[in-house]
Every structure is written in structure tokens, then in C-alpha cells.
Amino acid sequence: MKYLDEFRDGPKAQKLAEQIRRMVTRRWHIMEVCGGQTHSIIRYGIDQILPPEIELIHGPGCPVCVTPLETIDKALAIASRPEVIFCSFGDMLRVPGSQGDLFTIKSRGGDVRVVYSPLDAVRIAQREPDRQVVFFAIGFETTAPANAMAVKLAHRLGLKNFSLLVSHVLVPPAIEAILNSPHNRVQAFLAAGHVCSVMGYWQYPPVAKKYRVPIVVTGFEPLDLLEGIRRAVAQLESGRAEVENAYPRVVSYEGNQAAQAVIHEVFTTTDRVWRGIGRIPRSGWRLRECWAQFDAECRFGLQQLQVEESPVCMSGQVLQGLIKPPECPAFGKQCTPRTPLGATMVSAEGACAAYYNYGRHRQVPVSQ
Amino acid sequence: MNQNRDSVQMQGPVCPVPLRQYPEVVLGHGSGGQLSQELIEHLFVPAFDSPQLRQLGDAAVLSVNAGPVAMATDAFVVQPLFFPGGDIGCLAVHGTINDLAMMGAMPVALTAAFILEEGFSMETLAQVVRSMAQAARKAHVPIVAGDTKVVQRGHGDGCYITTTGLGVVPSGVAPAPQKAVPGDVILINGTIGNHGMAVMSVRQGLEFESPILSDTAPLHLLVQRILEVCPQVHVLRDPTRGGLAATLNEIAQAAQVGILLDEQNIPIQPAVQSACEMLGLDPLAVANEGKLIAVVPPQDAPKVLQVMREHPLGRQAAQIGQVVADHPGMVVARTPIGATRVITTQIGEALPRIC
């Protein structure tokens, strides 16, 4: 398949791995920020072909995983209302809240629908004017432009029955939070290519400079990831701390300015709680006051909810890269994708699910 | 082809209340009374047109040669009812034929039960029935008995079909998942994921340059060819729901053997691959309706592969892996970059990813 197969080429991947092997002189910890990158690394076994000195730490870049429990509980409360059609991306449906998940609500008669775009939810609102249509607007900077467009479209259509439950999170403040943590082990970052396709990478040079940390904008295919890792290792080995773009076929320095404009027209920065990590200042987006009529939290008058996380789940430490999923005592035992205790086990991009689904909890001897 | 067989007789000489007075299914069509009779006489009997069905008895009487017989039943609830490459009608015929074929059986007859929702379009029902009849005729497997029930509006999803099939198993033929042994070769008769992605693309309103067609097809004649050259085939399975991943895991667990796949050798149409990439699905976990996995001793693999490739339903047949003694109960794939990953069975419905 064009644009994919050429980035999955086995011999080229081995060649890049060999270059990294020749370059590396000591142990390095590199964090891939995005859950999509984690998925790819485990899916293709990229960590298996890297030299043992390179440890990849899986970052908090899975929007499903970091959406706070309180927001999930709000989604469950809204979706339970008889007048509501609750629209969501598919992988949010199995994320456990305090009392079940969206599948549970659906089985009890809640109208929960999987959509592929918030614009589909707007169309449902148009078709069903007597129902309240709520879209679960979660995600990083990548999904924000479409959500902003949906709000503007609903406004233009004069829809009074469309709203968003917003829980947007932002990558750069999360990177800074990790770097500020006293437990931080990350020495270089692979920045999330899709986020940068929207936002560019103009936000990163001050971070690289302030914390003396290499940041390489990286894609998602095996060769993209290996090239990102190669550049990060090259910087680490030569003592540089710069921002590099290893995904230029998609990402530019400025990013998609039209998308950024529509985001800033609709959203404003806010503090956000990250599930398993805690509150990070100015790390999220919420609807601006002038768009409050499209805010599901206002529309349904949801109060602060009291929530309690599973006491055994260590997803917070997984999300911060402090432990690998199998180091959690619940991993693969009480906690499996069928019985997830934390969101990292639910989403395909969650580090725990990636480890579980690709069998990293089992020792697999394979004769070559 | 006889026109009367393929179209609905909305009005007939014996029918005082023609079907055309009911453009939609009403509760009476499942009552066992006159309306039920009309449905049978004007729709099902002419379409399926088997001697046994024409008897209109409580059961069909069949003559089969003595020996082991196989029975299978399967329920069909697919939405939408019509999708590129097929519909619920032909799917219901192929699904049960294939379940029989995977036991090495030659299907003899099918029965069909319909659960219809009050208000379901009679013309749509006729289309479904026509498609079933055509599929059964093409497969040379008659539909010999049936039943229809109607549920109240809102209590069904238009049309559900259950088919049951009877087949005769040739002596000495007994493929079973437990029979896979290390050294065996794993073959598939073509590309994976077509059915699941065809249905999904309609559900999600996705359009591709070349439409993805369901692979729904009856596999019994292909199986007969395989049995001719390899009567001792160890395992035959059709990777339907749960896809190749679920089927191979079942085999690995049943036989307590390992399975080692070469991911690059698994045939996938580019359009299916793209659709899976877009939706964040693993093609290995996507449903097929016209595919079979044959696990055969290594010495038989070349001739089985050859007869598969000579058959219209096996043109793209490929050897995709082997049975190994390592990692019993597990399916492991070599990835394109030379690493390995474990292939697990999906938990529930496949959930598309966010980004």
C-alpha cells in the first residue's frame, strides 16, 4: 500500500537498527509521547530489534487513558438520560467509570452511538431535533480542529440540541510535567507526529533549551519510529539538545494554521486533571465562554462528582513511564482487556493493552 | 432461469387475499393462519422450489446414504441486510453450508427459519428470499423446510434468519482442530477481512476507490477438491467472526500446539488494508465468509495449495504459517521488520481507535 509499505520495509528497518547499535555507547531512556507510537512499537516489535541500551518509555499520549474518571462518570450520567443521544469514538465505550462503562449504559437502554467524526454527531442532531445530541470531545490537539468545526457548524445551523462534553488535553504541558517530576528518567522525547501536524513544533525549542532535552518529531510507521530514535540517540551521544523534525512529509514548523485558528476561536486553555497523573496547569482546552451554549456540562448542570480509582491499578505510574505494564501486580491477573481496572488496559493505544494484546506478558521462545 | 422461481408471485390463483395487499409484513404473516399460508405459497415455495418443501409437511423427509452425518445451525442478524457482495439471504445459505463443509461433510439440505419484524417491507423480504434461493441453487443444496414468525414492531431488526443444515461425511474423513501437529502447514484460500470491512464500510458510510466486496461463498466444493488430494487433512476451519486471529487461537489451544505465522504472506487486498488502517482495526480479527484454513501435513501442502489455486474460490490461496512445538496454545506472528508479536483473540466487538 502506497505511503505505508515503504515505511514498513524489513531490511531498511534492520539497517536503521544497526546504525543505532553502532552509535550507542551507554544506556538511554527515550519516551515516545503518543499512544499510537506505543501501539506501533509493540505491534511491530521495534523494541526487539533495538540494542539493549535503548529503553523506550511509553508516554501519556493516549487520550482514552488520560481522560479523568470524573469525566467518564459525567459521560455515563449524560448518556443515561432518556432524551440524550450520546455519540463517542469507539474506544471510549469500554473505559471503566466508577459504575460501569458506556456499554453498560447502552445495555440498560441508553442511546450510545459510535461515530467516526463529530460532524456525524451534528448530522444526527439535525435529523433528530427532539433529542439532545452530545458528542464526547476527548483527545489531544489532533482531534480538536474537527470538534471546533462541529461547534461552529452546529451554530451556523442554529442547532439547539447539540453539545460537547469536552476533555481535551495538550502535549507540551504534559512533557514539561514529566520533565519537572523528581522521578523523571526521560532523556529524550519522540514528539507525537499527528499532534505536530496540527500544531507544528514551534512550541518545543524553548522546552528543549530549558530542560536540555532532545525532542524529535516522529511518525508512526516502523521506519519513522526507528529514524526518530536514531536521531534522538545521535543527539544524546553527541550531547546536543535540539528540536528535529523526522516526520517532514506530514509536519511543518508552523503546523496547520487554519486548524490552529479554528481551535483558538472555539477553545481556551484550562487546567486539566489527567487520569493517573493528576492536575497539570494549563494542560487542556475547554469551550470559550461565548460557546458555552454548546457545553454539555453547562447544559446538563453536572456538579463536581466524587470519584474513586481502583486501589490496585498502577496506570498512573505506567503513564508517567515509571513502570512497565507487567510490573503492575494486577497486570494480566485481575486486570485484562476484558476486565480493565484502568484506562491504559482499555484503549488499543494504552500501554497496558498494547503489552497484553501483543503478548508481552508471556515469554515466547521462537526458534528463528 | 425460470422467472417465476426468482420473483414473488404477489397474486396467485389460489389466494383470496393477494400478498400485494400487504406491502409490509403484518403480525398475521406469522400466525399460522391464511396470511402465513400465502407467504409460504406465494413466496417461499416458488422461490426455494424443492420437492420436499412442496409437500408442505411438518418436516421434510430425506434419503441419505448411511454413515456419519453432520448437522449445523447458524443464526444471521447482519445489519445492513444488503452489503457490497452479498446480503443476509445468501450469507445464511453459505454460512451453514460452510459449517458443514469444515467437517468435511457434503451438504445435503438446509432448513430456514425467519423472524420478521412487523412492518418489514414485503419487497425487501422477497429480495432476501430470492437471494437465498439463488445461493442454494448455485450450491446445489436444496432448502427443504422452514418456519416464519413475526414479532411486534420494535422487537426485531427487520429480518433475522436461522438456517440448519445436514451433510454426509465421507468415511475416513474427520478433520478436527485437535489434530494439528507440529510440522503441519497452514493454508488459506485467499484474502482476509473482505466480509467484515464490506459490512463496516456500509455501516460507516465509507467509500473507497474500488468498493470492498464481501467474500461470502459456499466452500463445500472447494473442500471436496481438497479432500480428493488430502483425505487426511488435519484441520479445516472457516475464520468467520473473530477472523483469522480467533480461528488460529482456537486451533492452537485445542491441539496444544504453537502456530507461527508469516504476516507478510497473509493475503490482504490493499483496499481492505487501507480501510483497516483508517479505522484502527487489525485485519486478522476481521470476519470472513468465504475463507477456509486448511492445516495439512507438510508433504501434502503443495498439492493442496495447487488444487486450491485451481478452484475459483482459491485463486489467491497462500501458505501463511506452520504448526510448531514451541509456545503451545499461542499464535505468534513474524512482523515485517523481523520481530515477533503474539496474536490474541479479540475480546468483544472491534472498537475503532480515536486517532
Q: Per-residue pLDDT for A143 more than 60? A: yes
Chain-chain contact of B354 with A338 (C-beta, under 8 angstroms): no
CA terminus-to-terminus distance, chain B: 50
Q: Per-residue pLDDT for B220 more than 80? A: yes
Q: Which pLDDT value is given to residue A183?
A: 87
Q: Per-residue pLDDT for A320 more than 80? A: no
Q: Per-residue pLDDT for B12 more than 70? A: no
Can you give the length of chain A in residues?
368
Q: Half-sphere exposure of A178 toward its Cβ, with a 13 Å CA cutoff?
A: 29
- Select from A109, A108, A151, A107 the least CA-distant residue to A133: A151
The span from the CA of A241 to the CA of A233, in Å, is: 11
Q: Are A32 and A56 in contact (CB under 8 A)?
A: yes
> What residue of A is the nearest CA neighbor of B354?
A89
Which CATH number does A5-62+172-245 carry? 3.40.50.11750
Taking the CA of residue B239 and the nearest CA in chain A, the distance in Å comes to: 19
- Residue B351 has its nearest CB partner, among A91, A357, A366, at A91
Residues with Cβ within 8 Å of residue B145, at least 6 apart in sequence: B52, B53, B59, B60, B111, B112
- Select from A208, A228, A212 the least CA-distant residue to A17: A228
Q: Which pLDDT value is given to residue A368?
A: 39
Q: Span A153-163, mean pLDDT?
A: 97
Q: Are A227 and A173 in contact (CB under 8 A)?
A: no
Chain-chain contact of B337 with A8 (C-beta, under 8 angstroms): yes
Q: Span A247-257, mean pLDDT?
A: 97
The span from the CA of B296 to the CA of A18, in Å, is: 38
Question: Beta strands of A46-173 (E only): which ranges?
Answer: 54-61, 84-88, 111-114, 132-139, 162-169
Chain-chain contact of B347 with A338 (C-beta, under 8 angstroms): yes
Compute the mean pLDDT over every residue in chain B, rounded to the nearest whole number: 90
Q: Which pLDDT value is given to residue B31?
A: 86
Question: What part of A 311-350 touches B (C-beta under 8 Å)?
Answer: 337-338, 347-349
Of A191-195, B35-39, B140-144, B214-218, the least confident = B35-39
Q: Per-residue pLDDT for A110 more than 90? A: yes
Q: Span A49-68, mean pLDDT?
A: 90
Q: Per-residue pLDDT for A361 more than 60? A: no
Residue B183 with chain A: CB contacts under 8 Å: none
Q: Are B256 and B243 in contact (CB under 8 A)?
A: no
Q: Which pLDDT value is given to residue A337?
A: 82
Question: Beta strands of chain B (E only): which ranges?
Answer: 69-76, 82-83, 86-87, 106-117, 143-151, 159-168, 185-188, 235-237, 258-262, 293-296, 318-324, 331-334, 340-343
| Residue B125: φ, ψ to 5° | -60, -45
Q: Which pLDDT value is given to residue A221?
A: 95
Q: Per-residue pLDDT for B7 more than 70? A: no
Chain-chain contact of B344 with A357 (C-beta, under 8 angstroms): yes
> What residue of A is the nearest CA neighbor of B327?
A364
- Residue A143 has its nearest CB partner, among B260, B343, B354, at B354
Its pTM stands at 0.85
| C-alpha torsion angle, residues B273, B274, B279, B283 (rounded to 10) | 0
Query: Which percentage of chain B shows pLDDT scores above 90?
Result: 75
Question: What part of A 182-201 touches B (C-beta under 8 Å)?
Answer: 194
Compute the mean pLDDT over every residue in chain A, rounded to the nearest whole number: 91
Q: How far is CA A299 from CA A70, A296, A307, in A?
A: 17, 5, 21
Q: Which residue has the higher pLDDT, B226 or B35?
A: B226
Of B49-58, B87-96, B216-225, the least confident = B49-58
Residues with Cβ within 8 Å of residue A350, at least 6 apart in sequence: A35, A62, A64, A65, A315, A343, A344
Helix (H) / strand (E) element for B292: namely: none
Q: How far is CA B124 from CA A77, B16, B49, B142, in A?
A: 39, 23, 19, 22
Q: Per-residue pLDDT for A367 more than 50? A: no
Residue ranges covered by each domain of chain B = 3-168, 177-343
A162-202, pLDDT tens digit by residue? Answer: 999 999 999 999 999 999 988 899 999 999 999 999 999 99
Its sign, for the CA torsion A184, A189, A195, A196, is positive
A303 to chain B, any CB pair closer than 8 A? The answer is no
Q: Which residue has the higher pLDDT, A277 or A185?
A: A185
Which CATH number does B3-168 carry? 3.30.1330.10
Residue B327 with chain A: CB contacts under 8 Å: 362, 364-366
> What residue of A is the nearest CA neighbor of B268?
A1
Q: Which pLDDT value is given to residue B94?
A: 98
Give percent helix, percent strand, percent coil of chain B, each to the nearest 5: 35, 20, 45
pLDDT band at B81 (very low <50, low <70, confident <90, very high): very high
Q: Span A88-111, mean pLDDT?
A: 90
Q: Are B284 and B216 in contact (CB under 8 A)?
A: no
HEC sequence for A222-269: HHHHHHHHHHHHHHHHHCCCCEEECCCCCCCCCCCHHHHHHHHHHEEE
- CATH 3.40.50.1000 applies to domain B177-343: no
A32-52, pLDDT tens digit by residue? Answer: 999 899 989 988 999 999 999
Q: Per-residue pLDDT for A31 more than 70? A: yes
B263-286, pLDDT tens digit by residue? Answer: 999 999 999 998 888 888 889 999
pLDDT band at B142 (very low <50, low <70, confident <90, very high): very high
B154 to chain A, any CB pair closer than 8 A? The answer is no
Q: Which pLDDT value is given to residue A242?
A: 98
Q: Which pLDDT value is given to residue B277?
A: 85
Query: Which percentage of chain A shows pLDDT scores above 70?
Result: 95
B148-185, pLDDT tens digit by residue? Answer: 999 999 999 999 999 999 999 999 999 999 999 999 99
Q: Per-residue pLDDT for B4 more than 70? A: no
Q: Per-residue pLDDT for A211 more than 90? A: yes
Residues with Cβ within 8 Å of residue B285, at least 6 apart in sequence: B242, B243, B244, B245, B246, B345, B346, B350
A216-241, pLDDT tens digit by residue? Answer: 999 999 999 999 999 999 999 999 99
Q: Per-residue pLDDT for A326 more than 70? A: yes
Q: Per-residue pLDDT for A98 more than 90? A: no
- Select from A183, A192, A169 the least CA-distant residue to A284: A169
Q: Per-residue pLDDT for A1 more than 50? A: yes
